[in-house]
């Protein structure tokens, strides 16, 4: 029994793959046709394979032959029953041909009724209208039936609509997660501020305790201010309205200034800083990239224990500029690594909260690097440190490389 069932499964799978290939071909054809219309180029119609033309002609002849044999059998039955002495006159042959034509027409009509695309497309349009009404109310969990047997040439539109609904559903989930994360990040310091503010009402507190509570409130207020600044910066970057002015400057000097600005942090933890910065000129937005280096260095120093090491290396390779920031810190687990650049993600939530992290720094880093046409990647193992690699083009598109790099 497994043999026939296995054959049917393979047949159904192969048939579905053929339908998917047809749908993909239609989508590519219409996409090319629209592009050619925009470019003013003529669109060539794809000719069907000759074997399919011959196959269609052969099927019509086979169908006519079957209908003729069936009509001839019916007429023989009628004449043998009611007119046994009439033989094979011309009228009988004409009636046989007439019956054959009617049988062929009835067969085509039955096939059309069985596989009528109009009926399925009417149901498709009704479901489509209902889906759009649900999406207008904010429900993006809608999917239209994409079986090519029922939707015909509407398959390209149906597939595009389903892709749009899936993307909107993902955006809606991201929006809800974003609101939830923002609420949580703001609620935590506000709760702390409110609790210590109520405690300060007590007259039994010593001056040392009172000053300690005030320092905590001040730190939480600074945390809220930094969180709001990062949110505004990330929103501005994603809106594509943030000022973006690429100009030539010395990237090695910028990295040295960033390292020196973090000197109090790495000196207090007695960390070793390994620097490899050859003279390098880049065409980029200096202010935005300064935020990238500050965030990466700040994370490397913060998550590297006392006495650890941080390495900053700069090199040019294959027309690109690569900046590597590596540390010997606590590292990131393999499960958390793919989510490292997501908004509000914290690999070590307890330590990040204690250190004042908001989980937005690496998201800002990724957005700025992508604005420059570059890429940022991370490699890490728990207990062995983390390695961030920023790859940037030597000249950012839209930049003015004619100005001298004097900084």
Residue 120 pLDDT exceeds 60: yes
**pLDDT of 329-349, one tens digit each?**
888 888 878 878 877 666 655
Q: Which residues partner with 392 through β-bridges?
A: 321
d(CA 18, CA 233): 49
pLDDT band, very low/low/confident/very high, at 351 (cuts 50, 70, 90): very low
Q: How would you class 66 by CB atoms within 10 Å of its CB: exposed for 0-12, middle for 13-18, buried for 19 or more? A: middle
Q: 3-state SS of 123-135?
A: HHHHHHHHHHHHH
Strands (E), 14-150: none
Domain boundaries defined on the chain: 2-117, 150-242, 247-393
Buried b or exposed e, range 299-329, using 16+ CB within 10 angstroms: bbbbbbeeebbbbbbbeeeeeebbbbbbbbb
d(Cα 45, Cα 33) in Å, to the nearest integer? 10
Task: Give tens-digit pLDDT for 66-83.
Answer: 888 888 888 888 888 887
pLDDT, average across residues 225-244? 74
Distance between first and last Cα of the chain: 79
The CATH number given to 150-242 is: 1.10.287.130
pLDDT digits (tens, 9 = 90+) for 288-315: 898 889 889 988 888 888 888 999 999 9
Residue 222, both tokens = 């600074």
Q: Are 155 and 144 in contact (CB under 8 A)?
A: no
Smallest CA-to-CA distance from 317 within 398, 397, 391, 395 is with 391
Helical spans, DSSP H, in 239-317? 251-261, 263-268, 286-302
Pick the CATH number of 247-393 from 3.20.20.70, 3.40.640.10, 3.30.565.10, 3.30.70.270: 3.30.565.10
Report the predicted TM-score, pTM, of the whole model to 2 decimal places. 0.55
């Amino acid at each position: 029994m497994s043999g026939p069932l296995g054959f049917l499964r393979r047949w159904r799978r192969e048939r579905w793959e053929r339908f998917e290939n047809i749908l993909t071909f239609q989508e590519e054809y219409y996409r090319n046709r629209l592009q050619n219309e925009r470019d003013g180029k003529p669109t060539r119609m794809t000719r069907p394979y000759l074997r399919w033309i011959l196959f269609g002609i052969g099927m019509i002849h086979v169908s006519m032959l079957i209908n003729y044999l069936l009509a001839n059998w019916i007429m023989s039955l009628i004449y043998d029953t009611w007119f046994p002495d009439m033989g094979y006159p011309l009228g009988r042959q004409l009636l046989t041909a007439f019956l054959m034509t009617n049988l062929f027409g009835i067969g085509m009509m039955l096939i059309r009724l069985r596989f009528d695309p109009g009926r399925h497309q009417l149901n498709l349009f009704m479901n489509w209208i209902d889906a759009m009404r649900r999406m207008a109310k904010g429900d993006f969990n809608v999917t239209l039936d994409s079986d090519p047997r029922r939707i015909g040439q509407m398959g390209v539109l149906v597939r595009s609509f389903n892709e749009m609904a899936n993307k909107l559903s993902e955006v809606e989930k991201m929006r809800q997660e974003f609101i939830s994360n923002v609420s949580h990040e703001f609620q935590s310091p506000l709760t702390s501020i409110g609790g210590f503010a109520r405690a300060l009402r007590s007259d039994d507190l010593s001056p040392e305790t009172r000053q300690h509570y005030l320092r905590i409130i001040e730190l939480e207020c600074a945390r809220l201010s930094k969180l709001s600044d990062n949110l505004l910066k990330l929103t501005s970057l994603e809106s594509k309205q943030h000022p973006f002015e690429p100009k030539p400057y010395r990237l090695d000097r910028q990295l040295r200034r960033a390292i020196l600005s973090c000197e109090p942090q790495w000196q207090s933890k007695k960390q070793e800083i390994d620097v490899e910065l050859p003279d390098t000129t880049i065409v980029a937005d200096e202010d935005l990239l300064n935020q990238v280096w500050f965030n990466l260095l700040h994370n490397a120093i913060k998550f590297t224990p006392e006495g650890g090491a941080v390495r900053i290396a700069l090199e040019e390779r294959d027309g690109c500029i690569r900046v590597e920031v590596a540390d010997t810190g606590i590292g990131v687990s393999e499960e958390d690594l793919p989510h490292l650049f997501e908004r509000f993600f914290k690999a070590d939530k307890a330590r990040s909260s204690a250190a004042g992290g908001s989980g937005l720094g690496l998201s800002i880093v990724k957005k700025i690097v992508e604005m420059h046409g570059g890429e940022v990647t991370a490699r890490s193992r728990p207990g062995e440190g983390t390695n961030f690699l920023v790859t940037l083009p030597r000249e950012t598109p839209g930049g003015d490389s004619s100005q001298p790099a004097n900084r």
